[in-house]
């Protein structure tokens, strides 16, 4: 994001939300950030900075990376701390941006090419996005290059533990947006997007999560067989439409 000030951060985010919804108010913005409206107003006017607590709230709500947070804190960091932050930034980007997992799986397809231009075309992203993700995966030793071909050097990556929640939130939101686009872009023979609305006992959710996990493993065993030609994402969405009384 490369933001240099708290004012720039809130101004930019508020403007983006206003573009999507001209009726979006500053009161709604402060509510969504879980920060008092007076504080938000004064930060946008350049009269004050976010407190450390409020900055952490904003970082969580807006999925800021570790380096973005450190820049906004404006604190001096030692060389070893900077190296640690750089690695955290790489891990954050790896988990948060969907292109990385897509490229990891693209590396398992027949006839793949270790070429950002080819990757960009296959994933419908910009050359810069493809090049940055490709270089990051090589730097993290998750893929290698043999001749003109990519090779995946890792087993499947599980993101259950030790990953910043903001990164996972960003990752999931990106893929949900991709699924929304697929509804209108892809023909029925290339997708399957279904839903069911249920009245349930929330106490059974742990059972549902275990069943979904087992189903995902079984389905991946069926689908991930040679020849692998395309990269797909399965995004199961089980969430409440009602709020507790």
> What is the pLDDT tens value at each position of the chain, 245 positions in all?
444 588 888 988 899 888 888 899 999 999 999 899 999 999 998 888 888 888 888 887 887 777 777 777 775 455 555 554 455 656 666 777 888 888 988 998 888 999 999 999 999 889 999 999 999 888 888 899 999 999 998 765 655 444 456 777 778 888 888 888 888 888 888 888 888 888 888 899 999 989 998 999 899 999 988 888 899 988 887 777 556 55
* Cβ atoms of residues 128 and 119 within 8 Å: no
The CA distance from 62 to 34, in Å, is 12
Q: Give phi and psi for 80, each to the nearest 5.
A: -70, -30
What the block records as the tokens of 118 is 């080819």
Whole-prediction pTM:
0.59
Q: Compute the residue count for the chain.
A: 245
Q: Give phi and psi for 197, each to the nearest 5.
A: -105, 125
How confident is the model at residue 1, as a pLDDT? Answer: 43
Residues 140, 120, 162, 65, CA torsion sign = positive
How confident is the model at residue 161, as a pLDDT? Answer: 41
How confident is the model at residue 218, as a pLDDT? Answer: 93
The CA distance from 116 to 136, in Å, is 12
How confident is the model at residue 158, as a pLDDT? Answer: 54
Q: Give phi and psi for 74, each to the nearest 5.
A: 70, 25
The CA distance from 130 to 136, in Å, is 10
* Cβ atoms of residues 9 and 46 within 8 Å: no
* Cβ atoms of residues 13 and 62 within 8 Å: yes
Buried b (16+ CB within 10 A) or exposed e, 45-54: eeeebbeeeb
Relative to beta strand 143-146, strand 149-152 is: antiparallel
Whether residue 227 has a cis bond before it, omega within 30° of 0? yes
Q: Give phi and psi for 150, each to the nearest 5.
A: -90, 145
Of 28, 86, 90, 91, the C-alpha closest to 61 is 28
Domains of the chain, each with CATH number or no CATH: 6-73 (1.10.260), 77-245 (no CATH)
Helix (H, G, I), strand (E, B) or coil at 149: strand
For the chain, the straight-line distance linking the first and the last C-alpha, in angstroms and rounded, comes to: 39
């Amino acid at each position: 994001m490369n933001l240099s000030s708290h004012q720039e951060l809130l101004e930019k985010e508020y403007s983006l939300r206003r573009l999507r919804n001209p009726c979006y108010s500053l009161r709604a913005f402060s509510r969504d950030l879980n920060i008092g409206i007076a504080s938000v107003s004064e930060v946008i006017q350049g009269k004050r900075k976010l407190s450390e607590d409020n900055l952490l709230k904003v970082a969580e709500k807006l999925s800021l990376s570790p380096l973005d947070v450190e820049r906004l804190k404006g604190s001096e960091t030692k060389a070893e701390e900077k190296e640690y932050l750089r690695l955290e930034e790489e891990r954050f980007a790896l988990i948060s941006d969907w292109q990385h997992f897509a490229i990891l799986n693209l590396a398992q397809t027949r006839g793949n090419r270790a070429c950002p231009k080819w990757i960009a075309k296959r994933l419908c992203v910009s050359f810069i996005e493809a090049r940055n993700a490709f270089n990051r995966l090589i730097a993290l030793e998750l893929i290698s290059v043999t001749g003109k071909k990519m090779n995946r050097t890792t087993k499947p990556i599980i993101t259950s533990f030790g990953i910043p929640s903001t990164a996972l939130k960003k990752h999931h939101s990106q893929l949900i947006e991709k699924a929304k686009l697929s509804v209108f872009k892809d023909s029925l023979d290339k997708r399957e997007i279904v839903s069911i609305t249920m009245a349930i006992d929330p106490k059974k959710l742990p059972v549902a999560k275990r069943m979904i996990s087992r189903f995902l493993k079984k389905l991946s065993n069926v689908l991930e067989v040679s020849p692998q030609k395309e990269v797909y994402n399965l995004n199961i969405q089980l969430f409440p439409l009602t709020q507790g009384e």
